[in-house]
Structure 1
Amino acid sequence: MSFRNRLTLFFVLIVIVPMLSLTVVLFTLIADNETGKQDAGVAARQTAAIHLYDEARDAAGKALVHVGRDLKLATALRAGDQVAASRRATVLLDELSIKRIVIVRGTSPFVDVGSTTAVFPATRPLTDTDGAPIGTLQVSTSGPKSYATLVKRVTGLNVLIVRGGTILADTLGVGGRAPALPAKPATVEVAGGKYRTAAFRVPGFQGAQIRVAVLGSTAKVRSNVRQSRLFAGALLFGFFTLAFLFALLVSRSLQRQIGGFLEAARRIGSGDFGARVPTVGSDEFAELGDEFNRMSGELEKKIAEVEAEQARLALAMRRIGETFASNLDRDALLEIVLRTAVDGSGAAGGRATIRSRPEAQLHQVAQAGSLDDLTAALRQAEAAVLESGASREVTVGGVTALAHPLRAVQQSEEDGPPRITGIVSVARPGTPFRPSERELFHYLAGQASVSIENVGLHERVERQAVTDELTGLANRRRFQQVLSGEVERSRRFGQPVGLVMLDIDNFKKVNDTYGHPAGDLVLREVARVVREASREIDEPARYGGEEMAVILPGTDVEGAFQLAERIREDIAELRLPIRTAEDEPLRVTASFGVATHPHSAADPRSLIAGADAALYEAKHSGKNRTVRAAEVAQS
């Protein structure tokens, strides 16, 4: 990314993005503020509407007292004369200026006269002289239209009176089905206009609910929001214009100064160490220019020192090569060899490959530098080494590659010629390698061969120290070390560890009947079965004599039991090349004991004891079977 693009990005991040965010927040606050003011006004007028409702309820209450005390109506109600009661209630409507009278007995109206749209009834229970309930009396003196007109005259806002989804009265001339009226202040659309509404709910006749809503038009609010946003936008635009002009001036000044530095740097890169940067003023760029000029003066002195240092570096690399033979970490050794070879030969990159067996494929174990454009040359050079058995240098597509074989040291004359165990190869595009670079590369690769052989010998000695020679399984010392470590890991991380112990049935009889070579064959074949049935993380071992064991990390008692059963069945299917008295192949079986930590034991010693006790139980309960330590504990 160019310097100009970085300045543009910087301006966008510190000016435009914050300003856009501020604009969004400010416009939102303006809208919320205007809406809040309107909501406050609507809420105040809602309070006035509630007071008018209370007055209507009070008037209905006074009328209800007169109706409740009317003797003729009471007489008709006691007699259960519905016609007489309705006739008297109709007379009371005119006498008391009542809109509606409803008397409910049971669950249905006994008397219902007056306007069905009357609202805001007063309610009281009716009782007989002995206190027995007769019914419920509801009286209303208010009609929805008169109430809506009164509220609008008092509050100046439009009104909706709704019952059961139907508009009883409104000041907008809507009628019909009512819009949804939220309990909280919200914007609703009525008759093609948008209003902020505040609604309250009051009881009606026979349990019906009446919702009264006052509506404030949002037209003025939208106008106020638009004006406030235009004013805020003008201020923000002015600020943005000033910021842009200032950024433009600063950007051009910085580009002129950076251009001077770039021109001087190019001249120095071409070998003109007399190039100087013009410095003006006393700011940080002037100080940087002075330091740049001092640096170019020092470069000439450093060139001579670097040439002398290269000679010392070549000598140091040879000394490093002499230390490789004592290194016992093969992969780390090859990485050091490779990095040193790449640096010493001036290569762009390289890699080291090895193989575990003569017929196996080479696989990469170390890499230095990028191999994107070098792979084809490296592969051809490595193929030439495998074909000829000697070092090779090839050039492919303008890329030169050097490859050197890593050989196993010959142990005896019977071993034949030393075999190739790996290859170290480096490559670079353009200039071929000089003789001194090739010599240093082959020297380092040759030292690596000796060191790798030492690593192999060291690994072989370590392997022999923990491996049983006859079976190839871990010996008892290795078994104890691994078991202690796995039990400790089980305690720390809460994961179970299983232990399977097995003993070959009637092994002494095999030795006595067919001889010790036959017994050794049985041990090797059983060990092979145990090793093949085990996972990579398991540790099969020869515990002693004809007794073997398998340590199972992360395995509970059921998992250990299933593994033991598989091994037991595989052993029972063995057919050994030893002829019995019946002229049949020799067959053997084994008994198994299974235990786990922490289920069966608390430490390595008790874990071994639990598995051994289970094995003893398997032996004495018929052999060729598997017993869990838990079964031993329960018996």
Structure 2
Amino acid sequence: MLGGIFTSIQFLHMGNVAERELQKTRESFQAELTRANMASDTYSINTVSSIVRDFYTRYKPTAVWINAENRMVYTLGQVPKSSEDIDPALVSAFTLPTQGHQLMVLFDEQEVYRSRDEMVFYLVGVFLLSAIACAMILFGLSNTLSARLEDLRTKAMELQSGQIESRIQVTGRDEISCLGAAFNSMAQAIQAQMKAMENSHARSVSEKNRLDLLLSSLGSGVAYLDEHFNVLYTNKALAKMLRLESINPASAKLEQVLLNAGVVREQRILLKDLVTDYFRNHEMPIELNFTDGRVLQFRFAVYNDKTQGAHAVLIVEDVSIRKNVEDLRNEVERDPLTGILNRRGFDITLETRLSRLLPGETLGLMFLDLDGFKAVNDTLGHKAGDQILKTSASLLKGATRNVDQVARLGGDEFAIIVARCNIQLLKNISERIIESFACDKLLVRIRQNHGLTVSCSIGAAMHPLHGSSFQKLLEISDEQMYQAKKAGKNCYRIAGVSATPEPLDSSV
């Protein structure tokens, strides 16, 4: 387009130059004619002919002729037959001295505008050759650029398909080369990330295998639950406990899995509570009985994840043997009437407590004997006597702390193991016991209706202040109890302490 504009400008300019040159030629020819005829008012055809021939030779017009009263008296060249075929800009009329005579000159258009046409032809040729050259250069560059871009596209497709080793050969510093270098850097970064991901995946698989091996070797059952109580994973121990060998627990509801495992009908309400509210109240373990006699304990470890929500690890243990052992131990170490420790349980507990004392830690021992129990038993019968023993055990537990242990040694004799005690604590417990016996409704009713009074005498000693051995504490506590009996019953005596309250009036 720029070439066309420039050529048009040159065309107009050279046209103007040609017209100015034509005008100069006319003026020069007019001057020659004027000089030739200046001497007379007429002209000589020979003189004009000579001048015209010389002009014709120099400027090569198309035709020259002389009109004399609508006829031609002289012609040279190719005179046009009709004036309509003549371009007025190319015709020049020169007045001769003789009236009615005109010298007409028809200039050759090609000769007049030769310089303009040659310039235009030259410029068109130059621009055409330039365009062809540029087109060839651009075509070559396009082919080269297309090939390089196609190579870049191909490498990108290879990278997308997983061939992360694909690279582009960079040979220059142009934009395509820079793009290729950026592609190579990206491919190298992707390769490094893929390598890191592969290593991480390998480590994850290894960790998972080790975790599976660890969980499979555990004796406890382990399951992984999502927030909808779906069983996502179970180890071998749990699969064995719940008889899951024949079913696939994946995406199975925990409730259905446990029902299939044989939860007893009486505990299905407890099971419903377990799988409904365990994400909120999961601190306490829950024990479920199964139809085959087993007892399984369920505990949850719950955690919350921002992306996956609440999840839980279920830990299951078969406590059937432990429960049987506990039941057997209760039968051996518990008094069947009162539910507190019997003599055997007392001996075992006291020895255990003494063996586990830390340096500077104390332990108290209290011996109690019921006053007036034999009279009630003989008067009101063994049933009433058993009720008094149960009441006595309840009163003793009510006067002590949860860390203390109450035992029935036999008949109407009781004992209390007091943890982390001091003399004042022994006094306080003793006074609460005596007061509770005096105020109990059953004992008050027996006293009012039958005139029979039941109270207790208490003797106490403390480790290590009064004795450091099991046997020594028993002897001292027993001795203090007999001292309370001698002092009038319904009172207490503590080893090494002389001042004790007077016996309470049982009639109150």
Q: TM-score range by the shorter chain?
A: 0.3 to 0.5
The alignment's TM-score, normalised by the length of structure 2, stands at 0.42
The alignment's TM-score, normalised by the length of structure 1, stands at 0.35
Q: Rg bigger for which structure?
A: 2
